Structure 1
Amino acid sequence: MSLLTNVMDHSLDEGYAEAAARKKAEGGGGMPRTLRAKLGLAAGLVLAALVVTVGAAQARIAAPVVAKERGELIDRIDRQTAAAEKLEDGIDELRDDVGARQREALRKHGGDQGELVGILAGAVEVHGPGVKLVVDDAEEADQGGEGDARETSGFSDTGRVRDRDMQRVVNGLWESGAEAVTINGQRLTALSAIRAAGDAILVDNKPLVPPYTVLAVGDGEKLSSAFRESGDGQYLDALRKNFGIRTSLSVEDEVRLPAAPSVIVRTAQPSAEKGTS
């Protein structure tokens, strides 16, 4: 019973009591945990502020260098833009000079028919009655398809106008009596080529986008009627009915066609016959 009484009277081990007394004698029982956490947070904030301050100082030091490089780049762009514009102006002047010389050559060598030769060659601007033909892709044309039901069975039609379609349209207008033709403002001559580059249609290497507006100078009523009845006109109508190609043909009282940007004038002379011995 004396052992139980001792345990009840002395529940705290003497070792704990001695350790507490020793810490008290040394000046305290250590730093509280909450205080240590606050001091750590304060140190982290100070370190973050130091990093931000150093970064801002470095950015301020580098700012003049970046601004200088940016200014030099802008100056280079401005100089190159001005040089390109000057070259374009020179090209326009040379093109006008070449056109004038070509027209003069046509008048000189064409005699009384010089003006007619210039019109047929596309070297001069023309205006007068004619027709306006607009050809456009189908409303739901597939922009990514490569197949064409008009070319190979087994592929679905894309509903897009092809270069060969425009070739037939132009040839049909010439055959029907057109005196001059343009596609989207591009004058056609005897040397013009209508080709394809991927999905784009090129006229003399210049890409065109739909809708394709074809203007032709001639007797409007006769030209329209002759084209509709021609094989190429019927071909275009078949494209409309079978593949959804959109077309419209109207007679115009006045259409204006620009001159071709460049016409190469070629002359041929018979070579002198060489005697045989």
Structure 2
Amino acid sequence: MSLLTNVMDHSLDDGYAEAAARKHAEGEGGMPRTVRAKLGLAAGLVLAALVVTVGAAQARVAAPTVAKERQELIDRIQRETAAADKLEASVDTLRDDVSARQRAALERDGGSDSADLVGVLSGAVAVHGPGVKLVVNDAKEATTGGNGDPRETSDFSDTGRVRDRDMQRVVNGLWESGAEAISINGQRLTALSAIRAAGDAILVDNRPLVPPYTVLAVGDGNRLSTGFQNSAEGLYLHALQQNYGIRTGISVESDVRLPAAPSVIVRTAQPTTEKGTS
């Protein structure tokens, strides 16, 4: 009976009883848990507000410096652009002077007819006369293409874009059909001209062009138009129109005007020997 009485009187272990008593004492004498939670939340909000305030103050302090640096960068760009424009104007003036001197030298050497012929064939002088006007444009549904060869994909928006190789074939077809001078979007072509691609852009002598691509060719207009359309390159262009929706149009013109090529330079030269009089 004494054992049962002891178990009933001491149902908890002494350690458990001591811990429970201590926890009870802390609950009564300490701060309630909800109050502590509210105080912690308030402290966190105060800290966040302090951080935001400090950040805003720093931003206000740094704003004038950023604006000043931005304006200095804009001024520098404008100065460099003005300097580049000035240099380009100087280059154009010197190029015109060189062209005039070359023409004078050719006239002294072979006469004006020879000088005119060399100037036309080299693209060094502006020309005008009868010829054809050929316009090549992307399909209406064409957009910026993706990667890879657009003619090997099923996306119509890719296949409907005019590519550099298309313009290469067009130009070669016009040369073969009897064109004496050709320009694309006002860019005169010479024997050294290159038609290349950079992304989706077509470059002619490293100058980007945008569609539609207007090709002007000087020559016998009727013969040039018929010859090109019946050539392999003309049939290729027709196939692009039929299969991919690329828009094309060719017309015979009574007078087309082509500018001189801006980058014609003399690569080799040989002095002429003048016979003296005895």
Task: Give TM class, smaller chain.
Answer: 0.5 to 0.7
Partner of 1:250: 251
CA displacement at 1:79 relative to structure 2: 4.3
Change (3 A) 1:83 1:253: same
Separation in structure 2 between the aligned mates of residue 121 and residue 179 of structure 1, nearest angstrom: 10
| Mapping for residues 167-246 of structure 1, pairs under 5 Å | 167-246=168-247
The amino acid of 1:181's aligned partner reads: I
CA distance 1:128–1:261, shift in 2 (3 Å): same
Distance between the aligned counterparts of 2:232 and 2:65, measured in 1?
A: 70
- SS of residue in 1 equivalent to 2:159: coil
Amino acid at match of 1:91: V
- Answer with 106-115 or 64-73: which moved more: 64-73
Q: Indicate the SS of the match to 1:146.
A: coil
The 2-side partners of 1:142 and 1:74 are apart by 33
**How far 1:222 moved relative to its partner?**
1.2
**Cα gap change, 1:206 to 1:106, in 2 (>3 Å):** farther
With normalisation by structure 2, the TM-score equals 0.66
DSSP 3-state at the match of 2:103: helix
Q: Post-superposition shift, 1:183?
A: 0.2
What is the CA–CA distance in structure 2 between the aligned matches of 1:268 and 1:241, rounded to whole Å? Answer: 49
Task: Name the Cα RMSD after superposition.
Answer: 3.3
> Cα 1:70–1:231, aligned 2, differ >3 Å: closer, same or farther?
closer
Q: C-alpha displacement at 1:253, in angstroms?
A: 1.1
Residues 128 and 256 in structure 1, CA contact (< 8 A), matched pair in contact too: yes
TM superposition shift of 1:104: 3.3
Question: What letter matches 2:121 in structure 1?
Answer: L
The match for 1:15 is none
CA shift for structure 1 position 221: 1.1
1:159 Cα deviation from its structure 2 partner: 1.0
**What SS does the corresponding residue of 1:263 show, helix, strand or coil?**
coil
Gaps of 5+ in 1: 1-50, 270-277
Equivalent pairs, count: 217
**Paired residue type of 1:179:** E
1:259 partner SS: coil
Deviation at 1:144, TM superposition (A): 2.6
Given that 1:187 and 1:260 are in contact with CA atoms closer than 8 Å, whether structure 2 keeps it comes out as yes
Partner of 2:97: 97
Q: Is the 8 A contact 1:147 1:155 kept in 2?
A: no
- C-alpha spacing 1:81/1:129, structure 2 compared with 1 (3 Å): same
How far off is 1:87 after superposition? Answer: 2.2
Structure 2: which amino acid aligns with 1:264? Answer: I
Give the structure with higher Rg (CA): 1
Partner Cα separation in structure 1 for residue 210 and residue 204 of structure 2:
11
Identify if the C-alpha distance between structure 1 residues 236 and 82 changes in structure 2 by more than 3 Å, giving closer, same or farther: closer
Q: Determine if contact 1:102/1:263 at 8 Å carries over to the other structure.
A: no
Verify: 1:118 aligned to 2:119, yes or no. Answer: yes
- 1:3-82 matches, within 5 Å, as 79-82=79-82
Kindly state the Cα deviation for residue 84 of structure 1 after the two structures are TM-superposed.
3.3
Q: Where does structure 2 lack aligned partners over 5 or more consecutive residues?
A: 1-52, 271-278
Residue 41 (structure 1) aligns with: none
Structure 1 residue 147: Cα displacement: 3.9
**Percent of aligned pairs with the same amino acid:** 74
Matched-pair contact (CA < 8 Å) for 1:108–1:114: no
